[in-house]
Amino acid sequence: MRSQVTGLADRIGIPHQEKIVSLKAPWRWLPGHRAPFALKGVGKGADPLLPPWPDLLITCGRRSVALSIAIKRLSHGRTMTVHIQDPRVPPKYFDLLAPPRHDSLSGENVISTLGALHKISQEKLAAARRDFHGKFANLPRPLVAVLIGGNSKSYKLTSEITTTIIDNLKVLAGRGCGLIVTCSSRTGAENAKRIRTALQGDPIFVWDGEGENPYPGMLAIADYILVTSDSASMITEASATGKPVMILPLAGGSKKFDRFHAMMREAGIIRTFDGELQHWTYPALDETGRIAAIISANIRAHVNHHD
C-alpha cells in the first residue's frame, strides 16, 4: 500500500509527506462513511493529522477511508481526495478512485488501472541500470530476474513448489543463463534458506537480504523476468519494463487473481513459465504515470474552485 501511494505521489511531482496511521476501536470496525469524528479514532503512535489540510490527499487501504472523508469535510471540500483500491464505500465520497481493474469497481469518478500502482518508472529503471551494471556484469546472458513471493490469503508456496522452482532455475543455469534471485518476506524462512542453499555459486546471484536491495536493478538489467503468481504488485512492476514476464504458479488462487492474470495475459504482458524462456514484446505498462497525469491536470482547478 505504501509503495502505491508514494509511487503515485512521486510521479505527480509535487512536495509531499507520507503519513502512516491506524484506527483504534470502535472506529476500525465501522464502514468508512459511517465513522463519526474519525480523527479522534487515530491510533496511538500514528503520524499526526493536523491542519492546514493539504491540496491533495492520496490514501490506500480500508482503514484510511474514514480519515480521508473526514479531512475532505474539514477542508470544506478544498482537499482533493484520491483513493487507491476499492474503499468499500460509495465512490461519491472521493474526488477520484484509482482501483485495479480486477476489483470490478465502476463510477463516474473511477479510473481503473491494469494492475497495481507502484514506484517503478522509466527514469528509475535507467538509474538502476547505471547503479547495478557493475554488480551483475559478471553474470552471463541471457540474464533472468526471479522474483519469489510466497504465502498469502490466496496462495501458498509449498515445499513441493519450492523444489520445482529450484529445479527449473538449475536447468536454466545449466543452459548458460545468468540468474538474479530475490525472495520476499512471504517466502518464509525455510523456503528462502532452501533456495539460497540450492542456488549458490555462478552463474547465479541470490540476494541474502544484506546491503542495498537489488530489486530495481534486477528489473532494469534482466532480459527475462520470472515472478510468482501471488503478487499483483511484483507482476505489475515487472510489466513496467516491457520485457517478457513469465509467471511461476503457486498453490491456490482466487477469482480476483484469476481476473488479474487473465487481463494481463490478454494485454500481451504475461505468460505462464513452462520451463522455457519465451520472447515477446509489448509497450511498457505505466498506469502510475497515467493516473498521475490525470491528477496533475485537475488538481489546480479543483483547489481554485474551492478557494
- Crossing angle of helices 159-174 and 189-198, rounded to 10°: 20
Query: What proportion of the chain, given as a percentage, has pLDDT over 70?
Result: 100
In the predicted model, is pLDDT for residue 161 greater than 90?
Answer: yes
pLDDT-derived band of residue 209, with 50, 70 and 90 as boundaries? confident
Give the pTM: 0.92
- Residue 305: pLDDT above 80? no
Grid cell, residue 164, equals: 520445482
∠ CA 192-195-199 to the nearest 5 degrees?
145
CA distances from 32 to 18, 39, 77 (A): 20, 12, 17
CB atoms within 10 A of CB 118: 23
pLDDT at 206 over 80: yes
Q: How many CB atoms sit inside 10 A of residue 104's CB?
A: 12
Among residues 129, 148, 119, 122, the alpha carbon closest in space to that of 237 is found at 119
Dmax (CA) of the chain: 65
Confidence category of residue 96, pLDDT binned at 50, 70, 90? very high
Q: Which domains does the chain have, with CATH numbers?
A: 2-118+289-306 (no CATH), 122-272 (3.40.50.2000)
